[in-house]
Amino acid sequence: MTDNAPCAPFASPAADPLADTGRLLARVDRGLAELRLGAAVTISGDDGRLMALAAESASAQTLADLAALGPSPRVVLTGRRASVLGLAPAGTTPVAVTLKDGLDVGAICRLADPCLDLDGPLPAIAAVNPITGDGSAGAAVVLAKLARLLPAAVVVALEGAAPPATGAAPLAFELAAADILRYQTAAARSLRKVSEARVPLAGAEHTRILAFRPSDGGTEHLAIIVGEPDPLQPVLTRLHSECFTGDLLGSLRCDCGDQLRGALDAIATQGSGVLLYLAQEGRGIGLVNKLRAYQLQDQGFDTLDANGQLGFDDDERIYLPAAEILRQLGISRIRLLTNNPLKVEALGRHAITVVERVPHIYEPNPYNLRYLQTKARRSGHLF
């Protein structure tokens, strides 16, 4: 190109799907940060506009700020949480709860957090209204989940199209419900390899670790590749959800550590294969909420009922990130090390063919026996 040649025009951002994805993820990331800081965000959806706070980080001041913006702030709970509180039938959609005596931090905690006062009385309730569609109220709860907080939000409806002039910058930040609901899919589809290194392991010296990061700079997923898998043949594969307590500390409450080390041993014995180490602690609810679930298990709930008490589904994981990484590795057919048939079905929906389910069973101990029995009896795991 000569000095006088015109520069090539920049591509229109609207024509760049990766740029659009990056902007979507950045907007939602900002909302996640605001919630974790205890601030409110504005969410626009099919049901209008509202201001939302994460229930577990609400304070007297932020509740007063919400009350000044509109009438009748409400607490939005998942259908699972509403059901265990006796406020809605099992399997219902999220609900918005209006309290007779108004909101305070204690009442919100009683509705949202079973670890604080499991047997205490509920605050007086004026109305419980189901939420349907892809609206802002339901998206507020999804945002709290994505922030790894308790899945509950405090919301107040806003009038008009413009953000309120509150003078408080965090209250002015706005995002669309549709962006929140698309976040996990967009993040998974934006995964790109950002690092690769040879990492010899005990019993598997010919091993590489590849890191895959979403375009918003979020948490990485790892591909641990042993040997040289042949993508033309079904590759022995393990999808392993990170487990700080089991993998790193050797917790006896689960079988995760055994499964991680056993999968690497099995792949090394085979000669080659892949272990995907996925950033989805606690079946997707995060480490803090997993510890809350453990607290509830110590009070007699099994692992699934503990999740329900917190307001989560039995399993909050998605498997699109795993499928996307396998696709980028050139792998479309696998032999899957798992006891969970739902993983087989989920990968099939994302164009990964599981030609064989390889059992992945380890001896239980007195601390995880009930956990394993629950997975077999209620989640269909095959042991």
Please indicate, yes or no, if residue 308 is contained in any of the structural domains. no
Per-residue confidence (pLDDT) for residue 169, from 0 to 100: 37
- pLDDT for 357 equals 95
Q: Are strands 48-54 and 41-45 parallel, antiparallel or unpaired?
A: antiparallel
Which residues of the chain fall short of a pLDDT of 70? 1-18, 118-119, 160-172
Q: Is residue 294 in a domain?
A: no
Q: 98 and 56 share a domain?
A: yes
pLDDT the model gives residue 159:
77
- Number of Cβ atoms within 10 Å of the Cβ of 230: 11
Same domain, 197 and 339: yes
Rounded to whole angstroms, how far apart are CA atoms 220 and 216?
A: 11
DSSP string, 302-356: -HHHHHHHHT--S-----HHHHHHHHHTT--EEEEE-S-HHHHHHHHHTT-EEEE
Selected catalytic residue, list 74, 208, 317, 327: 317
Q: What is the rounded distance in angstroms from the CA atom of residue 100 to the CA atom of residue 211?
A: 51
315 included as an active-site residue: yes
The answer to whether residues 71 and 217 belong to one domain is: no
Which single residue is written with the structure tokens 């000044």?
68
Summarised one tens digit per residue, pLDDT across range 278-334 is: 999 999 999 999 999 999 999 999 999 999 999 999 999 999 999 999 999 999 999
Domain that holds residue 95: 13-185
CATH value at residue 59? 3.90.870.10
- Active-site residue identified among 117, 305, 315, 349: 315
Tell me which of 185, 201, 227 is where a domain ends.
185
Residue 4 has a pLDDT of 42
Pair (156, 221) in one structural domain: no
Amino acid 17: pLDDT: 63
Domain boundary among 131, 156, 185: 185
CATH number, domain containing residue 207: 3.40.50.10990
317 classed as catalytic: yes
Closest CA to 159 of 262, 46, 51, 35: 51
Which of 185, 200, 221 finishes a domain?
185
Question: For residues 272 and 206, is the Cβ–Cβ distance under 8 A?
Answer: no
**What pLDDT does residue 1 have?**
37
DSSP state of 1: -
Q: Is the residue at 1 inside a domain? A: no
The secondary structure of residue 284, as a DSSP letter, is H
**Burial grade of 254 (CB within 10 A; 0-12, 13-18, 19 or more):** buried
Residue 164 confidence (pLDDT): 46
195 & 149 share domain = no
Q: What is the pLDDT of residue 16?
A: 61
Report how many domains make up the chain: 2
